[in-house]
Structure 1
Amino acid sequence: MDLHLKGRRALVTGSSSGLGEAIARLLAAEGADVVVHGRNAARAEAVAETIRGDGGAATAAVGDLGTDEGADAVAALAGPVDILVNNAGVYDHMGWDDLTSGDWADIYNVNVIAAARMIRRLVPGMRARGWGRVIQIGGGLASQPMADAPHYNATLAARHNLATSLARELKGTGVTSNVVSPGAILVDHVRELVTRIAPARGWSGEWADLERAASGEWVPNDADRFGRPHEIAGAVAYLCGAYADYVSGATLRVDGGTVRSAF
């Protein structure tokens, strides 16, 4: 299937590893000219080099999106982009009793305000050119939060909300705004977290055993496993392409049925 991404330029924030890397690599494979973003120059350039080695087009842009200066630098390096995927974010497993007001402010800055910074810098150009895609990487915890990590849950809800608000703002411009909402995805930090909490939860055995236990008790879903990065990348690629021209203000859940809702 041709998603008609040839000639489009895409910035994927937080794409020097994990989920963002999978998104960047698939968009490049579909013909987009991809800007790989990260805070570590060597890691971002390594991903860009891998994409180029596979026959794709990619450059690296380094900067801390948690600051206006960093966002300015990344926007300048990226240049005019047609597709913005706001994937960059942080997560920690702190609970209500551990969190300070500073922790709340810090995670909002990185997970929410950083996305708004890039929207402000890049979407006006899309609007002027009459075509664009803006995609937030959200999550099921936005609508079904757990007790742990309340600050993280709340930032996901904010990402979903700002995407819908942006869709209303962009009415009739040719620019769409949507959310891809993953469930638990097997990236390095998720594997490390499951391995760390397994003893306290009575999970044991090989990794396959831990994944089965965690997907059954911790993040129960109908697929009985964690998702894989390429499955999220596929959803993002669809929303970037011509087949999603009529999709805006929507949330595309890719969570194996974790969220128990008909709507």
Structure 2
Amino acid sequence: MDLQLNGKRALVTGSSSGLGEATVRALAAEGVAVVVHGRDERRSHAVAASIRANGGKADVAIGDLTGDEGADAVVSAALAGGPVDILVNNAGSYKHLSWADATPETWRDTYEGNVVSGVRMIQRLVPLMRERGWGRVITIGGGLAVQPMYQHPQYNATLAARHNLEVSLARELRGTGVTSNVVAPGAILVDAVRDLLTEIAPAHGWGETWAQIERDATRELVPNDVERLGRPEEIASAVAFLASPLSGYISGAVLRVDGGHIRNVA
């Protein structure tokens, strides 16, 4: 399917690794000129260079989105190559903490990094999309927004906020040609997840091969109907569709890509 994205330009925050990296690669393969963002210059430039080596177009924007100065630097670098048609708010982080260990300061820092960072990008780039009459804003959320765990409560809450702000933004953007949606991954097999599951597998009796570990960990921790972890490329494909002109009648939606882990009809 031709997603009709050739010639568009996208900024994907937090795209020097993980889901963000998979997303810029998927968009670049569709003909999108991408802006790779990160705080690590070496990794960010390496991803961009790899995309260019494969025939794609890629620029780099370096900056910490938890402050206005860093956000301004990222937007300036992103706009230097032309207008940004697609904003993917992917950047964020979390720590495995209990309620007892997640201090109010941790909550504030997590909210700043996972929610306000995206607001900074929206407020700087979406007005320009409105002026042009076309744009896409896609936020990476997660199933923990609606089905939180007892662990890392500060992270669960920021996902809920990300979902909420994107639907609110969709209402704000009605009739402008700019849409706002959420892609909500389930448990995704990035390097850090594989390393963690491999490390804790012996204590849980999850087997010795990776195939056994993935199967058993999925059943115990994140049971779903596909019976495996998701792949970054599967999230990237969902983002690419929502970024395309073909998704023009979708706004204010949450697209769950979780193997059926969240089991409700909403």
Q: TM-score, normalised by structure 2?
A: 0.97
Structure 1 regions of 5+ residues with no counterpart? none
**Which whole-Å CA distance do the structure 2 matches of 1:40 and 1:170 have between them?**
33
SS at match of 1:2: coil
One-letter amino acid of the structure 2 residue matched with residue 37 of structure 1: H
Give the Å deviation of 1:197: 3.1
* Equivalence map 1:106-117=2 (5 Å): 106-117=109-120
One-letter amino acid of the structure 1 residue matched with residue 14 of structure 2: G
What residue number does 1:67 align with? Answer: 67
Percent identity over paired residues:
66
**Which whole-Å CA distance do the structure 1 matches of 2:212 and 2:71 have between them?**
42
**Which whole-Å CA distance do the structure 2 matches of 1:149 and 1:89 have between them?**
14
What residue number does 2:249 align with? Answer: 246
One-letter amino acid of the structure 1 residue matched with residue 175 of structure 2: G
One-letter amino acid of the structure 2 residue matched with residue 113 of structure 1: V
One-letter amino acid of the structure 2 residue matched with residue 2 of structure 1: D
1:260 to 251, 259, 263: 263
Q: Structure 1, residues 153-201: CA drift from partner, whole Å, max 9, x if none? A: 1110000000000000000000000000000000011112222333443
* Equivalence map 1:105-254=2 (5 Å): 105-254=108-257
**Which whole-Å CA distance do the structure 1 matches of 2:64 and 2:144 have between them?**
25
**Which whole-Å CA distance do the structure 2 matches of 1:242 and 1:117 have between them?**
25
**Which whole-Å CA distance do the structure 2 matches of 1:188 and 1:155 have between them?**
23
What residue number does 1:37 align with? Answer: 37
**Which whole-Å CA distance do the structure 2 matches of 1:77 and 1:184 have between them?**
32
Runs ≥4 residues deviating over 6 A? none
Q: Structure 1, residues 208-246: CA drift from partner, whole Å, max 9, x if none? A: 111111110100000110000110000000001111000
Structure 2 regions of 5+ residues with no counterpart? none
Q: TM-score, normalised by structure 1?
A: 0.98
Give the Å deviation of 1:91: 1.7
**Which whole-Å CA distance do the structure 1 matches of 2:89 and 2:256 have between them?**
16
Q: How many residues align?
A: 263
**Which whole-Å CA distance do the structure 1 matches of 2:193 and 2:94 have between them?**
10
One-letter amino acid of the structure 2 residue matched with residue 51 of structure 1: I
One-letter amino acid of the structure 1 residue matched with residue 143 of structure 2: G
One-letter amino acid of the structure 2 residue matched with residue 54 of structure 1: N
Over the aligned positions, Cα root-mean-square deviation in angstroms equals 0.9
Q: Which moved more, 1:184-193 or 1:229-238?
A: 184-193
**Which whole-Å CA distance do the structure 1 matches of 2:206 and 2:113 have between them?**
32
Give the Å deviation of 1:110: 0.6
